[in-house]
Each structure stands twice: as structure tokens, then as C-alpha cells.
Structure 1
Amino acid sequence: MNGKHIKYNVDNDGIAFVTWDVADSPVNVMNEYTIAEFFSTIKRAIDDDAVKGIVINSAKKDFIAGGDLKWFLNYDKSKQECFDMLMQTNTNLREMERCGKPVVAAINGLALGGGCEVALACHHRIMSNHPKSHIGLVECSVGLFPGAGGTQRFLRMIGSQKTIQYITQAKKLTAEQALKDGLVDAVCTPQEDINSLAKNWIINKGTTEQPWDNKKFKVPGTPLGVGQVSGISEFFSVANAMVYKTTHGNLPHIKNVLSAIYYGAACNIDKALEIEARYFVDTLFSKETKNIIRASFLFINDAAKGKSKPKGYDNASFKKVGIIGAGMMGAGIAYVNAKAGIEVVLKDVSLSKAQNGKDYVKAQEQKKLENGLTTQGKIEALLEKIQPSDSDTDLASCELIIEAVFENEKLKNQVTFETEKVIKKEVIYASNTSTIPISQLAKASTNMDKFIGLHFFSPVEKMQLVEVIVGKETSEKTLAAAIDYVTSIRKVPIIVNDGRGFFTSRVFGKYINEGITMLTEGVPPAVIENVAKKIGMPVGPLAVSDEVNLQLMLAIMSEDPNLTTHEIQLKNTLINIIKVHRRTGKKEGQGFYDYPKNEKKLIWKEWATIYPPQASFDEEEVGKRLLLAMVIDSYKCLDSGIIREPKDADVGSILGLGFPIHTGGVMSYIDYVGAPEFALYSEKLALKYGERFALPESLKERIKTAGTNRVFYKN
């Protein structure tokens, strides 16, 4: 007899097969319905005297992919009800562990999050070594941590050090890695019958006691020799300090998982499970976790699937792409295309420069080979897809062109003119410009409806985001095809309407501008940089300025005819820094920082002379100025139509700017701090520092009519 989500069968030898096969879903997910049906089926097998052992398996290509995050995001019950649910789950898993019948997990494909936790509660785990098979507790990647015993069973199986590392890093282990660590007991090939292997273990060797239920069991301690650390308490003190250095206390799920592991280590398994459940509840109900789940699971996942694609257009596919410009950006774009199985013509002004771009790809793959992450055969197959060229005629057979030459309008226009002589009329032409308006560049094209912007981020092979920029003449068909292309190379597209700086470059410029402005006001540069990291930004605005280069920043500002009073002042500041003090950036070895050869960068000590430090400063205000500068300008992008939806701004800010994910992104930030409080603080900054912090009237109206702390999202 089968349920809706769980199949049940007992064979002639008394082996019960409990098979996950969640209805109306491509993968097995855990929610209140599937979990309830699973445990009722397990209880049925436990209560049946004819059943000698139990095999938990899957009818889908994966074992269990984990918890249903939409369920968690929209969880509307009380903290007590959530705790009771977790404790009932733990009770059910403990009954399975102590039922007196051997239970085996037959793990095919993915066993992640809650799926891994179900497997850990079995007496024996067999895992297929298919390349796509992975096991792990990955909840930290979405702002949660394991809540069904994962922290405590990991702790008792692999010790505190690996438990902290694997859980906080959301590590996915291959079958071989899991076997080496003792998280699975056996590995089989995809060709072997994993269910028969599970059954044979039950019949021939089946044991029914978990190690932690043995009275002599002790939790593996922290090994000696980790620096000067010895003992569990000292190890956890160092672990806490290291985590705080990275997260600055902004991520409650990381703090709570460490607490659950630490306090659980001193208890028996049942008390430890209760401790974990209490910390999990505290995490689930935090606004930071809700933000991370919404941003990473819903918004970013939806964008990665191309949900923003205009309706009514067939799926477009590309077998051959031409990339013009073989510098770091062009080479990176060629790399991700080849990785996606697309043939590439990588063109530059000379064959040697084009070959240098291909060599960049080879060098990146060589690093992977040295770390055992690829093979020589795979590298050769990848490189065969990239054809270096110095001839426009080689682009004639390409189905998409991506121009990635130097950020100069005249040069880009010339490239467009020359390329369109050889390519077919139906070919889409994309520019990788980061600042020049697409509608302006499109004037050089004879097919303006096929002209679009694809703004990649550096390094391309690591950065997920691509801004798909729509010019005034870009057709919906071209946009739809561009979205299909971006998702096919495993990048995350957001649609941005045309405008100087588009979205990310424009908004990130406000972050940089505010950092430089505070330096000129006498806020110590070390304070600016450290506060930036403390609020959750990956790097300070002064260090970013050095990376971008002050000369380039000045050139971009000089091309903008609509600078504000504040931006004109900042432009004059840059001119002074460049011409008087000869500070231009990292490339030249001297910007806001000094860059001694083979030494760590240091903030230039003369800034204190040029801009005497303030006697006192408000650290909170420094952080708020950096964040609000981006948030307010992001809203202006939404208000003016540069960004079409608030969620696009959130995705773009997290993936493109490194905006702190615990806030949910630039638009979610308003809800995160509370709309009324946000408005009051903005007003305070506007009175003190000028109109750039004043809220647009439409945002004031949104806040006024919202009637709650939330303006954009309900939860």
C-alpha cells in the first residue's frame, strides 16, 4: 500500500522498502506533509513483526534534496509549535534508531540538509559514487542550520573540528569523501543494485545500535596541535573568534550553530537534540534568516532559472559565440562559454593577444588539475572549444557576438561597424560595457533591435551575475534570447533598462563616493574600511577605488553631464588626489593604499596630514552612510524604471555589489531596519550631509501608506 509521497513494500524476505517519491515535484523535499507520511510509514514497518529490517530509498534520481524552504519562509506557527514539531521529529528519528531492526539508507544522487539527517539516523549508509551524488548539511548556505539532529550526529561521528567546518561552510561531500570521513559505511557504483546491497547488509550483518547509544561512547574531542589550542573549550573559543572576525555578528545562524555544537557536546544525545532544536527555532524566527532564504532561495534561484524572460518566446540556444576582446573579461567570458559546451571564437587585434586569452583559460584549469578537480583530458576538450582569431571573417558563423573591448565609445562603435559587415542579420550583438548607455552604442548598429547589453562581472568565472541591459530599440525577442543565453552558461540574469552606469555600476559608485567623501571630512581611512566590513560589505570603498583605478573613475565622471553638486565636489577631490598627490590606484602601486612588492597593502600614512582626522566620529553613522547611499540610489533606479522590480535590485546588489545578504539586499534593507526608522535616519543624514540622503517623494508615500515596518515584502 502506497501513500501520496512515500511508497511501501515488504518483500518475501521480510525487508521493508520505504521509498521517497514526492508527488508533483522533480525532487524529494521535506515539509509537514512528506515528513508526516514518512514517519507513519516507518512506524508501520517498525510495528510489523514480519519486517526484519528497513531500507530507506528513493524512486527519483536523488535521495532527499532537503527541506522545503518555501515552507520555512512562510512558516506561520508560533515558536513553541515549531519547537514541538522539531522535538517530535527527533522522537521519531530516535525511535527509528532504537527500534531493534536494522535500518539502511540507500543513497542515490543528493542527500542534503534534512535528507542527510534522515540518513544519519540510519544504522548503515550505502552511497552511489555517481559524479552528481553528494551528501552534506548545507542549511547554512540559506541562513539556517540543521534542526533534525544533524549537528549532534555529525559531532558524534566526525568530531567538533570537521563538524564546524563542514556545517558552517555548507560542504557537499562526494561518496568517496563521505566514506573516508565515516559519514557513510559503503560505496557502490551507479551500475550496482544499491537496494540489493542494502538488503544483503541487513540479512548478513545488520546491527541495531547507534554508537552514541552505547554507554561507553564519548564525543570525539578536539585534537591537540591546532596551533596552541588543546581541549574542547579552548577550541570553541578560537572557533567563535574566527567566525566573528568573518561575520561580525551579522549572521545569527552561524552563531547559533556553534552554540548548538558546543553545548550539545557535553550532553547525552537526547538532551543535545533538544539544545539543537531550541537554537534552530531562534534562528528560523530571526529576520536575518528570513531575508537570506528569500534572497538566496527564491529571488536568486528564480533569476537563475530565467523566470524574468518575456513570455511567448521559444527557447533560444547558441552553439557558437564570438567574443571580441581577449583581455581578462573577454577571456573569462570565453571560459564560461566553453565550460557550458559552447564553441567560441575569441578575437583580438592580433593572434598572439587572442592566444593570451586562451592561455588564461588554460591557466585557470591547470590550477584545478593541481588540486585534483579536473583531468588533462577534460582540459584539452575544453580548450578545443576556443578558437583564437585576429580575423573578422571567423565571426561569420557565430550565432551571438559579445563585444568586450576597452571601455571607449569610439572604439566600441568601430568594432560594431566592422563586425556587422560579416555576421548574419539575425545575429544578436551584445556589448559588455559597464557604463556607456546601450542606446547610445546601438546607434553604431544597423540592427538596433538586435543590440543589447550583457554586463559580466570580473572575474567572470567566479561572479554569478549578468546585467541584461535593454536599449530603447532592443526587441523583446532579443531580450528573451539573451535571458536564455545567460542561464545556459549558468549565470544569473537581471533585466536592467538603459541608463548611465546601469544599476550595479551606478549604485556601487555611490558606495565608493561616500567612502571618499568621509575621508575628506576627516574620518580615518582605517575606520571607513573596517566599518564597511563590519556592516557586511566584502571590501572597503577605498580599497575598491584602488582596484577600479582613480583615473578611470575620473574619466567616467567627466563623461556624465548630469553630476550633482556632491559629485562635482568629489570630481574635484579626485583631480586633486591624482594630480597633486600622484595617487591613482593599485595598478600603479599607490592609491588610497600603498602596495609594496611582495608585502601586504597598507593605508597611505599621509592621509592624516592631507585630511586631518576628526576628534570624534560616530561609527554607526559611518556604516549607515555607506549603506543608505546605495539603498536610496537603488530606489531611485526602481522609481525611474532602470530596475523593473524590487527583487531585481536585491539580486543585483547581493551578487554584483556584495551587499550584506542578511539584510536581504538593497530594497529589503528598508524592511530590515523598519521603514519608519529608515525614513527618520535618512532625514537625519539629509539635514547633516545634503540632498543625496533625502528620500524621493514616492518612497515617502510608500512608507506612509504601508502602515507597517515593511514596504516591499510581507515576510
Structure 2
Amino acid sequence: MPKAFFLEDLQDNISVLYFDLQGESVNKFSTPVMKELGKVTDELEKRSDIRCLLFMSRKPGIFIAGADVNEIKDLRDEAKGYEVARQGQDIFKRFGELPFITISVIDGACMGGGTEISLACDYRLATEHPKTKIALPEVNLGILPGWGGTSRLPRMVGLQRALDMILTGRNYDAKRAWKNGVVDKVIPHEWALEKALEFAKEILAGKGEKYIKRRQPSDPASMVLEKNPLGRNIIFSQAEKMVLKKTRGHYPAPLRALEVIKKSYGKSLEQAFEIEARALGQLIVTDICKNLVQIFLWTDEIKKENGTAKKDITGIEIRKAGVLGASVMGGGIAQLFASNKIPVRVKDIDYSAVSKAFQQAAKVLKEKVKRRRLSKLEFQQIMNRISGTIDYSGFKNAQLVVEAIVEDIEVKKIVLAELEQYVQAQTVIATNTSSLRVDEMAQALKNKKRFIGMHFFNPVHRMPLIEVVKGKNTSAEAVATVFNLAKKLGKTPIVVKDAPGFLVNRLLVPYMVEAISLLEEGHTVEAIDKAMLNFGMPMGPIELFDEVGIDVAYKAAKVLQDFMGDRMAESPVLERMIEAGRLGKKNGKGFYRYQGKEKNIDPAVDELIDVKHGLLLDEELMQKRMVYPMINEAARCLEEGVALRPRDVDVGMIFGTGFAPFRGGLLTYADSVGVKNIIDQLKQFEKEFGKRFKPSVALQDLTEAGFYGRKKKTKKASKAKPEKKEKATKTTKTAGSTKTVKAKKKKTE
């Protein structure tokens, strides 16, 4: 096994243990690495000459990435999970109890197990390096910190601070970690070793008590709450409400972590470790854990790819970019480039329009300043990277130009032909269109090889997905350029073939339009949205119309309707909403009415909906009506090559629409239900609701193997509820969970 740990003696009986896993780009705690750490600890226990040990990494920008996630993926036995937790706890405990002072010097990303071993040390330092991020992200993998983190952190920094870190999995930079007592001092990255030595000498001189005292919260309110049982119960109750509000109970890990902290509070550390380990063993074998781990591994795979079959293509390095169109989207894209140290030039028809891009960028950045994620100086530095123009001056120096103008194919073609005259021959030209054909736009260009789709999702600063749309003439170099840039921007890219709606919108829009069909059958806005919230979507499909903009969604639906024909429901409701001036959240009224941050049902919407019949479905059937057609269409997308592999469909739907991550993605969910069961239900829907539900040949071809060529097994040890393998349900039943109810007549009947 490659060596991971290297001990060096420095000065004044101070030594340093370097973590530098040979042959790997990151340090991670695999089983062999943990065994080596155990042996190193054995040797260190014998060293009577050491007075202080610094624990550091030699990997640039990386301290410790945490546990080896592949081992979590393969762990299927609850007893083994418990054993792994106890072994890790024991090794870290022994390391923290070495007969001399231990100081963790965090310089770079410190995740999971890296944070837990640091908590076991006597002191912690963190550098100001921008890559220094400290977190306990285990809940995002469906587990909890099981190597002592769940037990140690509340004792060290107090309940409220610990719960915030453990239950959310959020990253702390060095300053925030210091403010919350997680680290004892922030030091310069450039002088990490020298400053760590200074700190070690200060501690050896007996001046460490002040650092220990400041870890606990000192404000009176926190002290009062945390020092008595009633106050602690309030803290636990509020934490549970926060978790349930965020997760709707779909994710067991944060609730279990809260339970562990509550049960172990006041007990000895050893008793707490036992409770923590038992919980880890139970969580680590659940389907939810495996689904979340698989998503993590997919994103890790994508980080190593370039979007093409030719692994040696690196594409063009983007040092300067241009954006055509200073809309909200254009301003969002400009902000993203500038925030990632890429100077960007924004063009529009007049300076009044150009100013909107600056306003949008400033709006996003000011929110970060307000939340103390950005300093005022950093805000100004980012804004200084954005410049505006009403001509093409400055575009000659751009390696990439993104077109983000009005969604009109003819206008786009005119502008693209004009742009080509002002950029270099190798400049990649991208369109941010969400629904228009890349190949049709390419006809306006002389050099079609450099033209590509770069579909950002709105809002740009929040949505993690970018669809890299490859036209029939797009070169591999253009694909690699945009794919690699997307990763540099902190996004997750997937490559899709040019087709109406590309991948995500082709699946999402029919789902949204089906929700309108349910409205026309008498289901309420609240019932439809609640059904999909309970399924695990971040918002219901009706609210999503308001969020996207009803006019925008209508245009996308029309484009797809022309392509999909009778595979998608038709309805006059969206057109009526637009005619009534109901455009959604942006003008304060859509299917809901908005006032500030408040969202309320608007009875006036009923006047615009003609109820066709009064047959109401139960929640589960409503979910199937909306989700199963997406699965059906996804099979077609794979057959047509719109998506290269099932993984890209799942990644696209999770990061582009928020499709319930705990279900593992649209197609992972399909396999868990069983493709045959889905086909049977679609056939039943076809009989009752029309041709749009007819199972595709592509889906029927997957009846036995499923999308991933494997059958999911439900583990007995798992506490997650398995998907029901049930027969197709007729909506005309009058008993059981699928009973029908006569809808209340709308005023328009």
C-alpha cells in the first residue's frame, strides 16, 4: 500500500506529521490509511522526546477530503458499519491522547474525517487560503459524523454552534470556523509552518487557556439556554423544526444526528461514541445513503472528465469572456465569470440596458456581503472585472462569448452573424438558449465548429447545472472548452445533443403541463404542489410556473408541443393566465399571489380554469401522473442520444430541477420502482387519460434490465421505506388508497 504519513522532527522538541497519500491527488481515510495511522500512533506513543506535534498536509489546497466514499458505497452490513465507526473513533481518540500537545494545521479543504481528527487534537489552526473549507458534510451522504465528530463538537463549541454545522453539513471558511470556536487561530497560508511553530511555542509556554475558553459561546442568551435542561429542550425542538422544514422528513440522517446529540448530551465521551457508532451503522446501509453516495461519486467522475471521448483534449483556457445581452440572465452570467476571476465584457443595444447587467451582478454580490460571505473589498474587485459596451469593442480579446439575448431565433441569427466579424478565429461562441435549436442558430455562422450551447439555469448563481449542448458540427475542442469552464465556475456540466428542449426542459416541461391537466380535472393548486413536495421536489410544479415565469414557460411549452405532439398535454390555461396579466412571481401574481416574501392562494385563478370532469386522484396517483411520463420520455432521450448515459439524466434532473436527491435521480428511482410496474401504470393511464401516457418502445426495451442494468435490492437492515412494487392502479376505484372524489364545480362550469 502507498505510504501516507511522514514524520519530521523540527526544533525545540516540536515535530510534524505530514499526511501525503502517495499516488493520490487528495488525502482520504481508506481502511489501509486508517491502519497505517494506527501504527504511526503506536510509534508516537513511545516518543518521550516530543513535546508538541503538528499535523499537516502536503497536498496543495487539500488538508483531508474525509473518508473514502467508495468504501461507504460498498458497505452493506449494519454490524460492519458499527465496527468501522468504533475503529475510527478509537484511532482518533488515541491520536488525540498522545502524551504531548497535538495541533491540527488546516491548510485547504478539511471534510468529514479530516474535521473529526482535527477535533480530536488539542488545538486547531486554519489558514486564510481560499480553498480552506472546514465541514462535517456527512448528512449530505445520508449518514452522520461517526468518528467522534457528533460527540466532540457539541462539547467543544456548544450545542447551537455544533447543531448548525452537523445538521446542515455546510462549509466554514477559516474566519467563520474561528468565529464559531471550531479553530483556535487563523494564520497566513504563505507562512503556515512558521506560524504553526510560533503557536506551538506559545502553547508550550503555558498560554493556551485563552484559546480554550473562547471556544464556547459567551453571549448571555446562549449560556442561559445551554446550561439548563429546559433551555436545551428548546434548542433541540427548534433544531428539529428547522430540519423538518428543510427536508420534510425525507432525509433521516440529520434527524438521527440530532437524536444522537440529545441522547449523548451529559454522558461520558465513551458512552457518546457508542451511541454515535450504533447510529452510523444503521444509517450507512440505507437506500437513501447509497443514493446520496452515488450522486457524490457521479459528480466526482464528472470532475475528471472533459465532456468528450478524447481524454487528451483540454480545450481553450478562458482568460476573458464576453456576454451578449444584459438581461437578468446576462447579468447573472457576467457575475459568475467575474466572481471566478474571469474579466467579462457585456454588450447590449444601449447603456441603459447594459446597466441592468451591473445591477443584477451587484444584487447577487450584495446579498453575499450582507451574509458576510464576501467582504466589501472583494465585492468591488469582482465588480471591477465587469465592463459594458454598446459595440463590440473588447470582444476581440475574448476566448468565449455567451449569447443571452431575447429568445427569438431570427434575432439570434442576425446577432451571431454580426458577432462573428468581431471575434478571433478560435473564439468559442456559445448560446444560452433554453429551448431553441443550436443547429439552426449555427447556420448563421461561417465557422460552425466553434458554436455550442451553454445552457445556464436560472438563477445562475444558485443553480448548479450547465447543459453543454453539442450541435452536429460542434468540435470536440469547443465541448471540452465549455465543459472545463463550467467546472471552473463551480458548476456541474453534462453534455447533451441538440434537440428541442435539450434534456432537462424536455423532461421538465411535460411534467409541469401535466400538473395543469390535473388542475383542469378539479385538483387544487395546493393539492398538486403538496403532492410533489411530499414526493421530494423542492417546490411544486404550479409554484414552479410562477418562479420561472408563466410567459417563459408557455414559450418553452409551445416549442416542445410542436415536437412532442400528442405525447404532451395541451391546455389553454397558460395563455389565459398571460392574457390576464398573471406572469408569476416577477409581477406579483401568477397561480399564487405574492407580497414581499409571502405567497398566498389567489381564488381569482379559478375563473381561468375550466374543470373538465370531477375525478380526483389520491396523492400517490397524482405523483405518478406527473413523474412517470418523465421516465418514459427519458428512455426516448437515451435512445436518441440526447443524453449519453443514464447517469447524465439523473445528474441533470437533480442539479437542474432539484429532483429528490434521496431517491437517487429520476432513473435510479425508476429502477427502484421497477420499469415493468411503471409500464403497467402508464398503460392504465393511457386507457383513462389518453395517448400521451403510451409507454415508449425505448422504455419497454428496458423492462427486464432497467436503466442501469441492475435490480435494486432492499436491505433488511435499512430503515428507509422501499418503493412499493405494486400493480397498476385504476383511478376509478372507490375504495382503498385510490378512491375518487367528486370535484367541486368551478365558477366557470
2:154 corresponds to: 155
Given candidates 579, 600, 603, the residue that maps to 1:602 is 600
- Per the alignment, in what secondary structure is the counterpart of residue 461 of structure 2? coil
Quickly say closer, same or farther: Cα 1:710–1:233, change in 2 above 3 A: farther
Q: Is the 8 A contact 1:126 1:186 kept in 2?
A: yes
1:94 corresponds to: 93
Alignment of 1:186-265 (within 5 A): 186-190=185-189, 191=191, 193-197=194-198, 199-200=200-201, 203-205=204-206, 230-265=230-265
- The 10-residue stretch of structure 1 (694-703 or 504-513) with the greater mean CA deviation from structure 2: 694-703
C-alpha displacement of 1:30 = 0.7
CA distance in 2, matches of 1:552, 1:125: 51
Deviations 1:156-192 (A, max 9, x none): 1122222211112223333343334333334433325
Question: Given residue 641 of structure 1, which amino acid in structure 2 is its aligned partner?
Answer: G
C-alpha displacement of 1:614 = 5.2
Q: Is the 8 A contact 2:115 2:136 kept in 1?
A: yes
1:40 corresponds to: 39
- Per the alignment, in what secondary structure is the counterpart of residue 699 of structure 1? helix
Deviations 1:319-367 (A, max 9, x none): 2322111111111111222222323221111122113312332343334
1:509 corresponds to: 509
Correspondence 1:447 to 2:452? no
Quickly say closer, same or farther: Cα 1:627–1:705, change in 2 above 3 A: closer
Correspondence 1:137 to 2:121? no
1:172 corresponds to: 171
Q: Is the 8 A contact 2:81 2:280 kept in 1?
A: no
Alignment of 1:26-425 (within 5 A): 26-61=25-60, 62-75=62-75, 78-98=77-97, 100-190=99-189, 191=191, 193-197=194-198, 199-200=200-201, 203-205=204-206, 230-295=230-295, 297-311=296-310, 312-425=312-425
Quickly say closer, same or farther: Cα 1:250–1:694, change in 2 above 3 A: farther
What number of residue pairs does the alignment pair up?
A: 699
Q: Is the 8 A contact 2:521 2:615 kept in 1?
A: no
Quickly say closer, same or farther: Cα 1:326–1:454, change in 2 above 3 A: same
Deviations 1:510-569 (A, max 9, x none): 2211211111111121111122212121111111212334344444444443443363x5
- The 10-residue stretch of structure 1 (472-481 or 497-506) with the greater mean CA deviation from structure 2: 472-481
Deviations 1:194-247 (A, max 9, x none): 552465356433999x99xxxxxxxx9975579xx9433343233223312221
CA distance in 2, matches of 1:709, 1:275: 38
Quickly say closer, same or farther: Cα 1:501–1:290, change in 2 above 3 A: same
Q: Is the 8 A contact 2:315 2:477 kept in 1?
A: no
Q: Is the 8 A contact 2:631 2:667 kept in 1?
A: yes
- Per the alignment, in what secondary structure is the counterpart of residue 271 of structure 2? helix
Question: Given residue 272 of structure 1, which amino acid in structure 2 is its aligned partner?
Answer: A
Deviations 1:20-72 (A, max 9, x none): 12111122211101111011111221134555554433333443221121221
Alignment of 1:315-714 (within 5 A): 315-559=315-559, 560-565=561-566, 567=568, 570-576=570-576, 578=578, 583-595=582-594, 597-598=595-596, 600-606=598-604, 610=609, 617-705=617-705, 710=710
CA distance in 2, matches of 1:136, 1:426: 41
CA distance in 2, matches of 1:659, 1:375: 34
- Per the alignment, in what secondary structure is the counterpart of residue 392 of structure 1? coil
CA distance in 1, matches of 2:551, 2:664: 33
Q: Is the 8 A contact 1:668 1:713 kept in 2?
A: no
Q: Give ranges in structure 1 of 5+ residues lacking alignment.
A: 212-219
C-alpha displacement of 1:250 = 1.3
- Per the alignment, in what secondary structure is the counterpart of residue 420 of structure 1? helix
Quickly say closer, same or farther: Cα 1:402–1:603, change in 2 above 3 A: same
Quickly say closer, same or farther: Cα 1:564–1:424, change in 2 above 3 A: same
1:215 corresponds to: none
Deviations 1:66-110 (A, max 9, x none): 11212212335x321221222122223333444554333233333
Quickly say closer, same or farther: Cα 1:201–1:27, change in 2 above 3 A: farther
Quickly say closer, same or farther: Cα 1:664–1:307, change in 2 above 3 A: farther
CA distance in 1, matches of 2:318, 2:706: 45
C-alpha displacement of 1:466 = 1.3
- Per the alignment, in what secondary structure is the counterpart of residue 401 of structure 2? strand
CA distance in 1, matches of 2:531, 2:702: 30
Question: Given residue 285 of structure 1, which amino acid in structure 2 is its aligned partner?
Answer: V
Quickly say closer, same or farther: Cα 1:44–1:675, change in 2 above 3 A: farther
Quickly say closer, same or farther: Cα 1:402–1:307, change in 2 above 3 A: closer
2:719 corresponds to: none
CA distance in 1, matches of 2:388, 2:56: 49
Question: Given residue 6 of structure 1, which amino acid in structure 2 is its aligned partner?
Answer: F
Quickly say closer, same or farther: Cα 1:369–1:202, change in 2 above 3 A: closer
- Per the alignment, in what secondary structure is the counterpart of residue 460 of structure 1? coil
Q: Is the 8 A contact 1:305 1:487 kept in 2?
A: no
Question: Given residue 329 of structure 2, which amino acid in structure 1 is its aligned partner?
Answer: M
Q: Is the 8 A contact 1:316 1:485 kept in 2?
A: no
Q: Is the 8 A contact 1:55 1:198 kept in 2?
A: no
- Per the alignment, in what secondary structure is the counterpart of residue 703 of structure 2? helix
Q: Is the 8 A contact 1:434 1:501 kept in 2?
A: yes
Quickly say closer, same or farther: Cα 1:524–1:709, change in 2 above 3 A: farther
Correspondence 1:5 to 2:8? no
- The 10-residue stretch of structure 1 (629-638 or 697-706) with the greater mean CA deviation from structure 2: 697-706
Quickly say closer, same or farther: Cα 1:690–1:367, change in 2 above 3 A: same
Q: Is the 8 A contact 2:2 2:22 kept in 1?
A: no
CA distance in 1, matches of 2:648, 2:234: 44
1:214 corresponds to: none
- Per the alignment, in what secondary structure is the counterpart of residue 422 of structure 2? coil
Q: Is the 8 A contact 2:397 2:423 kept in 1?
A: yes
CA distance in 1, matches of 2:706, 2:584: 45
CA distance in 2, matches of 1:548, 1:135: 34
**Identity percentage over the alignment?**
27
CA distance in 1, matches of 2:699, 2:483: 30
CA distance in 2, matches of 1:184, 1:314: 39
- The 10-residue stretch of structure 1 (381-390 or 154-163) with the greater mean CA deviation from structure 2: 381-390
Quickly say closer, same or farther: Cα 1:292–1:421, change in 2 above 3 A: same
CA distance in 2, matches of 1:554, 1:110: 44
Q: Superposition RMSD on alpha carbons, in Å?
A: 3.3
Q: Give ranges in structure 2 of 5+ residues lacking alignment.
A: 213-219, 716-749
C-alpha displacement of 1:289 = 1.4
C-alpha displacement of 1:405 = 0.6
2:733 corresponds to: none
Quickly say closer, same or farther: Cα 1:452–1:40, change in 2 above 3 A: same
- Per the alignment, in what secondary structure is the counterpart of residue 118 of structure 2? helix
CA distance in 2, matches of 1:301, 1:342: 24
C-alpha displacement of 1:573 = 4.1
Quickly say closer, same or farther: Cα 1:278–1:694, change in 2 above 3 A: farther
Quickly say closer, same or farther: Cα 1:230–1:633, change in 2 above 3 A: farther
Q: Compute the TM-score of the two structures, normalised by the length of structure 1.
A: 0.89
Q: Compute the TM-score of the two structures, normalised by the length of structure 2.
A: 0.85
C-alpha displacement of 1:489 = 3.0
Q: Is the 8 A contact 2:161 2:180 kept in 1?
A: no
Quickly say closer, same or farther: Cα 1:539–1:16, change in 2 above 3 A: same
Q: Is the 8 A contact 2:225 2:235 kept in 1?
A: no
CA distance in 1, matches of 2:539, 2:243: 17
CA distance in 2, matches of 1:357, 1:64: 39
2:23 corresponds to: 24
- The 10-residue stretch of structure 1 (616-625 or 30-39) with the greater mean CA deviation from structure 2: 616-625
Question: Given residue 197 of structure 2, which amino acid in structure 1 is its aligned partner?
Answer: S
CA distance in 1, matches of 2:54, 2:554: 66
Quickly say closer, same or farther: Cα 1:686–1:206, change in 2 above 3 A: farther
